[in-house]
Amino acid sequence: MMAIRELKVCLLGDTGVGKSSIVCRFVQDHFDHNISPTIGASFMTKTVPCGNELHKFLIWDTAGQERFHSLAPMYYRGSAAAVIVYDITKQDSFHTLKKWVKELKEHGPENIVMAIAGNKCDLSDIREVPMKDAKEYAESIGAIVVETSAKNAVNIEELFQGISRQIPPLDPHENGNNGAIKLGKQTSQTGRRCC
């Protein structure tokens, strides 16, 4: 039987860019135009196979409004990965994305895998953020970048598969829980600091 690795993933990004929709599409393979705005955070899980492992994503979806940023450390602490979402039709959301990257760099866990998702690629007609800008920025910070559409289920699976690939494989000398323990340790540390 394959080993299950629990990976904490948090979704960050400006309000209304589609964080919850991406999670909904990924976990439930469902899209709702008017999914309720996330207050605080919401939690979902999904298990996907990756190589000889099963990655169980523990996804923390956060609220996008700026005044909820102060809560973000609760969610991103101890995270193995962060999905930072922007709306390709809104330049502002790309700016917000940069802020989040900066915060993660400053206060986020060490070695956190960052994935940039340019959502609403189905609306490329009214695109404000060129693909090129996103790619360049992603390269500069060493992040995965992908344009997605939660509505049309474009690149959602790929996004998480990319994250899975970025997660370093387990140290052969340690058992499968090691990563989780390590993450847990970090969590407690950041917790003390931020909250």
Partner 1 sequence: MKKGLKSGVCSLTTPGNLVESNPNSNSNNGASAKEKDVISSSGELENVQLKPSRDASRKKLCGYLNKLGIKGPIKTWKSRWFFYDENKCNLLYYRTAQDINPLGSIDLSSASFDCKVENGEGVFEIRTPSRVFTLKAISNQAMMYWLQQLQMRRWEFLHSPVDQGRAQAGCGVDNEDFLPLVKTPTEAVGLKAASLPAPQTSTALQNISLKHPWTEIQNTVHNICGSKQLWGNNGNVFTFSEFQEHPENPDEEQEAEVEAGCGGRMDSRLNWVRKARWMNSGFPGLPEELSRERNPMDKVSVLQQQILTLTEEVKSQKELVKLLHKALEAAQQEKRVSSMYLTAAEDKDRLELVRHKVRQIADLSSRLEALEQEKKELEQILTLRDSHIQELKEHVQLLMEKNHAKQEVIMALTEQMAREQSDPLQEANTITVETLYKQQEEIEHLKDDIEAYKTQNQFLNSEIHQVTRLWTNVAENEKALLMKCACLQAQSCQMESKYLTVLRKLQEAVPGLPSSHAELVRNLIQEALQWDVKEKAEEGFNLNPVSEYDEYGFMTVPEYEVEDWKLLAKIQALEIKSNNLRSQEVVEKPLRDRWNSIGELSPSVELKSLIRSGIPVEHRQRVWRWIVSRHCSHQPDHYQRLLQQSKSTEHPACRQIELDLPRTLTNNKHFSSPTSQLIPKLRRVLLAFSWHNPAIGYCQGLNRLAAIALLVLEDEESAFWCLVHIVENLMPADYYSDTLITSQVDQRVFRDFLSEKLPRLMAHFEHYRIDVSLITFNWFLVVFVDSLVSDILLRVWDAFLYEGTKVIFRYALAIFKYNEEEILRIHDSVEIYQYLRFFTRMIMDGRKLMSIAFNDLNPFPMKLLKNRRSMHREELEAELCELEQIKAAYVKERAEQGPQNLKEAVSEEEEEI
User: Whose CA is closest to 83, among 106, 110, 112?
Assistant: 112
Smallest gap from Cβ 124 to partner 1, in A, equals: 20
Please tell me the distance from the alpha carbon of residue 65 to that of residue 42, in angstroms, as a whole number.
Answer: 14
Helix pair angle (19-28, 156-166), 10° resolution = 90
Pick from 130, 171, 174, 193 the residue near partner 1 by CB under 8 A: 193
Q: 146 or 186, CB closer to partner 1? A: 186
How far is residue 183's CA from residue 8's CA, in Å, rounded to a whole number?
A: 9
Is residue 34 part of the contact set for partner 1 (CB under 8 A)?
yes
Return the residue matching tokens 């340019």: 118
Q: What whole-number distance in Å separates Cα of residue 101 and Cα of residue 113?
A: 11
Is 161 among the residues that bind partner 1 (CB under 8 A)?
A: no
Angstrom distance (rounded) from CA 118 to CA 183: 27
Q: Which two tokens stand for residue 49?
A: 């196979």
Candidates 105-113, 114-122, 145-153, 162-170: pick the segment binding partner 1 (CB under 8 A): 105-113
Cβ-based nearer residue to partner 1, 58 or 131: 58
189 makes contact with partner 1 (CB under 8 A): yes
Choose the binding region for partner 1 from 99-107, 115-123, 129-137, 163-171 (rule: CB under 8 A). Answer: 99-107
Exactly one of 135, 153, 182, 184 binds partner 1 (CB under 8 A); that residue is 184
Determine the Cα–Cα distance for residues 78 and 126; give it in Å rounded to an integer. Answer: 36
**Least Cβ distance, residue 162 to partner 1 (angstroms):** 22
- Closest to partner 1 by CB, 27 or 131: 27
Beta carbons of 86 and 120 less than 8 angstroms apart: no
120/85 Cα distance (integer angstroms):
10
Least distance in angstroms from the C-beta of 171 to partner 1: 19
Contact segment (CB under 8 A) with partner 1 among 38-46, 124-132, 150-158, 167-175 equals: 38-46
Among 53, 54, 68, 166, binds partner 1 (CB under 8 A): 68
